[in-house]
Every structure is written in structure tokens, then in C-alpha cells.
Copies of this chain bind each other. A is one copy, B any other.
Amino acid sequence: MITTITLNPSVDRRYVVQDFQVGNLFRTHQFEATAGGKGLNVARVIKQFGEDVLTTGFIGGKNGEFILEQLTEQGIKNDFIQITGETRNCIAILSKDVVQTEILESGPKVTSEQIELFLQKYERILQDSSVLVASGSLPEGVPESMYYELIIRAKKKGKPFILDTSGSALREGLNASPFLIKPNKSELELLMNRPIESEEEIIKAAKEISQNGVEFVVVSLGSDGAIIIHKDLGYKVKIPKIEVKNPVGSGDSMVAGLAIGLYKNYGIEDMLKLGVACGTANAMEIGTGQIRKANVESMFKNVKVEKIKVLNSLK
């Protein structure tokens, strides 16, 4: 089984307000609420692809109940730690010309007792999981070393761990050398603390990270595909032109594809192709973290992988 970890899930509330502007009152019939947070997007894509997936993390309040009910309806297993605070809302307002305005609540505070309970649950979850995926930000109260801790424990049991986060949560997590990370270009810039423009600079930065023991550094580049460093090897994955309906969640969908490829023991090139195919299939749908398996399969055939030259940046 693949397990996705979402420590700070959310209810994503999406409103369509054509003429949205500050200072007015708008009534809308177009709104929806979905179980959100990057790790839940990953889980939804894995499930839509047809694989078994377990979700875990911290959850609370009415929003927590809503999320668990929605996951259960979608056949996604869930085993969260119940907290006293209310799981956050993320508000997205879509207005004309696909302008998106977002308000993200900070989320509830997690106590050290709840963290301890999660770690106990995590040990049990590790037994049954073949691949672990952790995505997104850390809620208040959770130390920035949390992902480090989770990666170390997974490694002790020989389970590969995919970490998809940013900022200091990513920086600290990297100290435990996760199996795979998937920064986009701006996350890579933030991590390296320098501007990264050209393909050469991307490769150089990814190589630097990889030399600290990260098996796969997958840099997602939107419609330009991805650049991947694995030990001394480099790959470039290119995607065919598609009609983009909604690119939000494509990064999460790519992570889902990589996790499935890893879980199913795909060869390196096929794993990378599946990741990029899932990300692309998501962009073809209106929904965030939505794919059609038929689209993934057709993209998988059309995605091209080529090896690229990687100079050892530390030599």
C-alpha cells in the first residue's frame, strides 16, 4: 500500500465570481467544497489510477468530519489523529480570465501529545506501507524537524519516502535524505537561495542535492516536463502539447504517478514517465487532483524520456 501523509489538511472552498473586486458584496451559486491539502490530492489521484492508498495526518472539527466522510465516499482509506482544533479552510475565488484569489487559514495548533500519538500510529502504518509520501506545510505546533523524523523512521524499515514540501520543512527534511523530492523551479530557488534560470543551473542544483543522498531529485517544470537527477544519471522528460484546463494540482498528481511507479517496481524511465503523465492528465481536467486513467495511459505513451549529461558539480 502507498500511504500519503497530510499533516495540515484543509477544506478547499472554491467560488466562481466573474466580476470579483474588493469592497463589494457578491452572491454566487457556483461553489464547491472538497477535501484538500496536497497529500489528499496525491491520494485521490492514486485511487483514481486504481491503486490502494491510505491517508493520515492530523484532523479536527466539522471540517475534519467533512474530509473523512468525503475520503470514505471516494474509497480512500483514512487513519488520522483527531485533534481538538478545527481543520482549516482554504478559500479560492475564481474570477474572469482565470484570475485566482486565495485566502489560506493558518490551521489549528497541534499539541506535543498529539504529535506523540501520531508517531505511534506512524510506526504501525509503516509496517503495512510500501511507499510513503508526505506533502505540504506543517501545522502550528509541529516542529520543523517533523519530516526529518518521519524519513529516518521510514528508512529504518527500508521504506522509500517521497517528500514534497518547501521552505524550512523541506530544508530540514533533506537532512534525512528522503528517497525522492519534487521541487518546482521556484521551490528549488528558495532551497538553493539563488536564482535558477537555465537548464544547466537546474541540473547543477539538482545534482548538489542528489549528492547528499537523495536518490531522485525531480524538478517539475510545468508544460516543459521535468528534469531528474538520479545518482550520476540525468533525465529530461518532455510532454506533448495539451489543452490545459486547470494546472492546479499537477505537481501533486506527478508525485502520485512517481509513487505508483515506485510501488509497482517500474524501471526508472517508466516511473518518471508515469509521474509526468499523471501531472499532465491532471491539467486536462477542471478538478484539482483529478485524473482519468485513460488519459494517463495515453500520455504515458506520448511522454518522451531522454538521458542528459550531468557533470559532477562537486568535482
Contact = CB atoms under 8 A, between A and B. Distances in A.
A95 B62 contact: no
A101 B24 contact: yes
Interface in A20-69: 20-29, 31, 33, 62-63, 65-66
A124 to B, nearest CB: 29
A115 interface: no
A103 B17 contact: yes
Contacts of A29: 106
Instruction: List the number of copies, as a whole number.
Output: 2
A123 interface: no
A303 interface: no
Interface of A: 13, 15, 17, 20-29, 31, 33, 62-63, 65-66, 86, 89, 91, 93, 95, 99-106
Given A13-B91, A22-B95, A62-B62, 18 more contacts: A13-B89, A15-B91, A22-B22, A22-B101, A23-B101, A24-B101, A25-B102, A25-B104, A26-B103, A26-B104, A27-B103, A27-B104, A27-B106, A28-B106, A29-B106, A31-B105, A33-B86, A62-B66
